[in-house]
Amino acid sequence: MNITQEFETIAAISTPIGCGGVGVIRISGGKSFEIALKISGKKELTAGRICHGWIYDGDVKIDEVIILPFKSPNSYTGEDVVEIQCHGGVNVVKNILDVVLKSGARPAQRGEFTKRAFLNKKLDLSQAEAIDDLIHAKTSKFAIQSAKNLSGVLAAKIKEIKKDIFETSSRIVAGIDFPEDVQEPEYSYLVEQFTKSIAEINKILDCAKSSDILRQGITSAIVGRPNVGKSSIFNALLNLERAIVTDVAGTTRDVIKENLDLGAALTLIDTAGIRDDDNIDKVEEIGIKYSMQSVNDADFVIFVYDYSEGFTPQDKEIYDSIKNKPHIVAANKFDLAKGDNRFSDFPDEIKVSAYSKFGIDELKEKIKNMITKFSPDDTEFVTNKRQQACLIRCNEFLNRALSAAQKFELQDMIFIDLKSALLSLDEITGEVITDDILNNIFDNFCIGK
Ligand SMILES: Nc1nc2c(ncn2[C@@H]2O[C@H](COP(=O)(O)OP(=O)(O)OP(=O)(O)O)[C@@H](O)[C@H]2O)c(=O)[nH]1
Ligand SMILES: [Mg+2]
């Protein structure tokens, strides 16, 4: 492989800042080996051979480390790379990075290692974006889907579609350039080919909704009157004393969000109890406004009422305002109910007790079912907004080409649309991309990746 770009040597801490078993400092660029030799006092480093030693700042020993040298092009970035594994302490990694920077490297920017890997053709743009997805995946399911793209599933599909369009374009060009020797393709053939490519792209776009859900997850708001036990249920679902619980009506004043992984990422929101009361203060009033907003934004609602008190007219008022949204009804404080002879206000409500945890597992199951309704088990192709925009643009050009072919228009004109369609697909894998778009993509990465 030819390394086409020469860059300054960069370095960064590649592991999260915090205490851990191991911390990794990554160096990439032409001076990586020179720097590593200088700060370790080693005579030589052999690519692919792990080396044990110390890192020094002058005479001062900084840490005992393992050095992993990679020679271009066989590295993550495609350049010479040295990774230093040290003890995972906040200051240890920082001290080693400081020595590396003093010795000739400059701090890496966000995503700069992966950007170099892309520029050095170690991976295409869809694979680079998959790395970012993989790192930030909120659920194990999305991580697995992202790994598929990292292995090139989306890129391979795009390549396949491109090949078809390219072949048709070539036949059109041959017909235009050598009219005596080569017949221009039949219009029926063009219609067939374009219809096929459009369908292939639609197949990827059909997965867009599910990949968005897998990426961003689903949001659910817990709603009800004050004191019915919303925060208690919130805590019970999270298995965490996250929200403050008291017997004072109006305890929760703000929206509290937490993530819950029940297959797909669920953002669970605890809200201020809704009431229309002259005695409420300004803070609670704002809290109630936020509650309403959360209901609007949520994909589905968990409506809570106090079963021991029964379904009151105030409960009904709140229920009526959410009933048109997908929802689950949780009848809380079941432990306080005198027997279960009372007629259930909702036949499919779940009786729970946040206090004794009765029914919480059943509630979780119901939430899971709700999530399943929104998110499919699996999605063949994971795409992000940028990739979806490229696919939509490609289909617009293909649709124009299709309608031109159906009207037997000049094939020269059809060819222009096909060229644009191909360019849109090239943007997905990064064969054609502007610096602005590229910077925008890698700016979202973390430092050290
Ligand atoms: N016995 C019993 N008490 C409960 C149960 N759930 C909540 N409580 C009590 O009810 C009171 C109110 O609970 P919260 O969880 O703060 O209620 P909330 O709906 O969040 O109230 P606001 O934040 O004021 O809207 C507290 O004293 C809880 O201990 C339950 O299942 N059984
Ligand atoms: Mg509360």
Domains and CATH numbers, the chain: 10-124 (3.30.1360.120), 132-210+382-430 (1.20.120.430), 219-374 (3.40.50.300)
CB-ligand 1 contact for 384 (6 Å cutoff) = no
Q: What is the pLDDT of residue 376?
A: 61
- As a whole number of angstroms, the distance between CA 48 and CA 52 comes to 13
Q: Reduced to 3 states, what is the DSSP secondary structure of residue 31? A: coil
Give 2's pLDDT tier (boundaries 50, 70, 90): very low
DSSP string, 35-64: HHHHHHT-S---TT--EEEEEEETTEEEEE
DSSP string, 260-283: EEESEEEEEEE-PPP---TT--HH
> Does 179 have pLDDT greater than 60?
yes
More confident residue, 121 or 347: 121
Write down the residue that tokens 């700042």 correspond to. Answer: 57
Identify whether the C-beta of residue 224 lies closer than 8 Å to the C-beta of residue 305.
yes
Give 377's pLDDT tier (boundaries 50, 70, 90): low
Vertex 301 angle, CA 297 and 303, to 5°: 140
**What would the pLDDT profile of 61-94 be if each residue is shown by its tens digit?**
999 999 999 999 999 999 999 999 999 999 999 9
Instruction: Tell how far the Cα of 306 is from the centroid of ligand 1, in angstroms.
Output: 9
- Per-residue tokens: 52: 């044990």
Q: Are strands 20-28 and 81-88 parallel, antiparallel or unpaired?
A: antiparallel
Q: What is the pLDDT of residue 4?
A: 45
- As a whole number of angstroms, the distance between CA 442 and CA 306 comes to 50
**What would the pLDDT profile of 239-274 be if each residue is shown by its tens digit?**
988 888 988 888 888 889 998 877 667 899 999 898
Average pLDDT over residues 6-23: 92
Instruction: Give, in order, the Cα–Cα distances in Å from 167 to each of 1, 157, 193, 326, 405.
Output: 28, 16, 10, 48, 16
Residue ranges of alpha helices (H) inside 217-324 are 230-238, 282-297, 313-322
> Does 27 have pLDDT greater than 60?
yes
Q: What is the pLDDT of residue 120?
A: 94
pTM: 0.71
Q: Average model confidence (pLDDT) for the chain?
A: 91
- As a whole number of angstroms, the distance between CA 210 and CA 204 comes to 11
CB-ligand 1 contact for 211 (6 Å cutoff) = no
Q: What is the pLDDT of residue 225?
A: 94
Q: What is the pLDDT of residue 315?
A: 94
DSSP string, 134-189: HHH-SSHHHHHHHHHHHTTHHHHHHHHHHHHHHHHHHHHHHHHH-TTTSPPPPHHH
**Of the candidates 112, 102, 106, 116, the residue with the CA atom closest to the CA atom of residue 11:** 106
- As a whole number of angstroms, the distance between CA 127 and CA 157 comes to 13
**What would the pLDDT profile of 282-313 be if each residue is shown by its tens digit?**
888 888 888 888 899 899 999 999 999 989 99
By the CB criterion, residues less than 5 angstroms from ion ligand 2 are 230-231, 251-252
> Does 343 have pLDDT greater than 60?
no
**Measured from the CA of 249, which atom of ligand 1 is nearest?**
24
Q: What is the pLDDT of residue 395?
A: 97
> Does 6 have pLDDT greater than 70?
no
CB-ligand 1 contact for 355 (6 Å cutoff) = yes
Instruction: Tell how far the Cα of 349 is from the centroid of ligand 1, in angstroms.
Output: 18
Q: What amino acid is encoded at 419 in this protein?
A: K
Average pLDDT over residues 314-341: 88
Q: What is the pLDDT of residue 195?
A: 97
Q: Are strands 300-306 and 327-332 parallel, antiparallel or unpaired?
A: parallel
Distance of CA 59 to the CA centre of its chain: 45
Give 1's pLDDT tier (boundaries 50, 70, 90): very low
Identify whether the C-beta of residue 45 lies closer than 8 Å to the C-beta of residue 36.
yes
Half-sphere exposure of residue 401: CA atoms within 13 angstroms, side-chain side:
32
Q: What is the pLDDT of residue 280?
A: 81
Ligand 1 atom 14: residue of nearest CA: 229
- Per-residue tokens: 350: 């779940």
Share of the chain above pLDDT 90, in %: 67
Average pLDDT over residues 5-12: 85
